[in-house]
Amino acid sequence: MGVLVVLRSSPRWNGKDAQERGLPVDAEERMAAGLAEVPGVSCSGGAIGIKRNGQHDAALFVCEQPSVMAGVFTTNRFRSACVESALDRLHGGTGVKAVLVTSGNANAGTGAAGRADTELLAASLGELLGCRADEVVVLHTGVIGVPLRAERFVDKLPALAASASSSFAAGLTAAKAMMTTDTFAKTAVASFEADGVHHKIGGVAKGAGMIHPRLATMISVLATDATVHPVALQAALQRAVKTTFNAISVDGDTSPNDSVILLARSAQFPGADGQRTASVIREGTQAYESFCTALTEACETLARMIIKDGEGATKFIEIRIEGAATEQDAERVASVVATSPLVKTAFFGEDFNPGRIVSAIGRAGAEFDWSQLRVAIGGEPVFQNDTFLSVPAATARELMAQPELIVDIALGAGACALRFFTCDLTHDYVRINSEYTT
């Protein structure tokens, strides 16, 4: 039986100095190194020239052997060249040797030239790493509609590849190099057992704005040292993403670049010692369930960090839906409440106004009986029996002052339930997004 242990994760705070936050100055040293902690994976981060002033803008993750790949991508019909390229790799079923993530330019809306830029980076890295171009996945994030002109960056790739290592510093540097408007690096490591063997799952993510289900504006790369059948790997990722990356919203917007990549050892390719791994995790086994549990926990840790780092956010809000007639109804209610500007600004202003939540529920289009609807904020009942309840002013102020809040919504119409994570809407969100390209 597998036992899940979440080892470490990135801190869940904004990007201010540790001393200003009242945190130990060595707090960063206790973060997870993400993919660098997975045996057989090395990482690096550096500047290749996309961002100004020499800022780090490229993260590289290299596997010691070609790995099997699973992927989940944006459902936005406006897709970046990198998403199309990654989908080709996924459908082609080839092994993946490396993943390159660049930040500062989304390479979206750039036509055939944009696709050629993505493939040039893949081919150049493939040559450096001794593998084929289709064994390299390249992802981009940043400003939309600006030509990438990748030929300008090819000569910076050798240094990036040469610096790849499995050190803590390399793992953290890679996670930081992926960031755009993020204020802190997002990493997580989980462990599980399969057939008596201890395995790790490491992950990194970036994302702070344009965050909403299907997917959020985010990129995440995860890897495990377990050997997983390709069909099982894809099913596990889709299962994990459904309740994590597809259950978060900062602002109700999505992008053309959203990608979640998961790599695992493959029985199709020889290991570092030339031997093939005999034990393969497949669906329908206890090992698979243990793997899925650990993968979901790692994804949820990263998803929560994205919301905690929501652009300008000061509140983390967990919405718990129960008693929905269908899964779709639960999703509708959670999404409408999470994206309501009136609800989100009330939380920012610490304005106790449950009527905004109930109004959002009412317009969600979900099936429920008003006499059965129950709503609570921070454990305090605020609506039931078709009536708002009286809450003492002092209690209301104390509730709304909390940095993390749970909104419980019981629809009383069925047995479906879900959790959804969101944040408040602040002045800083408007400022950040009104100045994004300037």
Task: Enumerate the domain spans of the chain.
Answer: 5-308, 316-434
58-73/41-46 β-pairing? antiparallel
pLDDT at 8: 42
Q: How far is CA 411 from CA 190, 248, 328, 362, in A?
A: 34, 20, 13, 11
Compute the half-sphere exposure of residue 175: CA atoms within 13 Å on the CB side of its CA.
32
Class of the domain covering 316-434: alpha beta
Count of H-run helices and E-run strands, the chain: 11, 16
Question: Are domains 5-308 and 316-434 of this chain identical in fold?
Answer: no
CB atoms within 10 A of CB 227: 24
Superfamily for domain range 5-308: L-amino peptidase D-ALA esterase/amidase (3.60.70.12)
Q: What whole-number distance in Å separates Cα of residue 226 and Cα of residue 418?
A: 29
CB atoms within 10 A of CB 417: 15
pLDDT at 212: 66
Q: Determine the residue type at 339.
A: T
Single out the catalytic residue among 180, 187, 217, 227.
217
Q: What whole-number distance in Å separates Cα of residue 19 and Cα of residue 30?
A: 15
pLDDT at 252: 66
pLDDT at 270: 53
Which segments of 219-285 does DSSP mark as H helices, in order?
230-242
pLDDT at 350: 95
pLDDT in tens, the chain (438 residues): 343 334 444 443 333 333 333 333 334 444 678 899 999 999 999 999 999 888 999 999 999 999 999 999 988 888 899 999 999 999 998 899 999 999 999 999 999 999 999 999 999 999 999 999 999 999 999 889 999 999 999 999 999 999 999 999 999 999 999 998 888 999 999 999 998 999 999 999 997 665 566 665 689 999 999 999 999 999 999 999 999 999 988 776 677 788 999 999 987 655 444 444 558 999 999 999 999 999 999 999 999 998 998 888 899 999 999 999 999 999 999 999 999 999 999 999 999 999 999 999 999 999 999 999 999 999 999 999 999 999 999 999 999 999 999 999 999 999 999 999 999 988 887 887 777 665
Q: Is 217 a catalytic residue?
A: yes
Q: What whole-number distance in Å separates Cα of residue 410 and Cα of residue 382?
A: 12
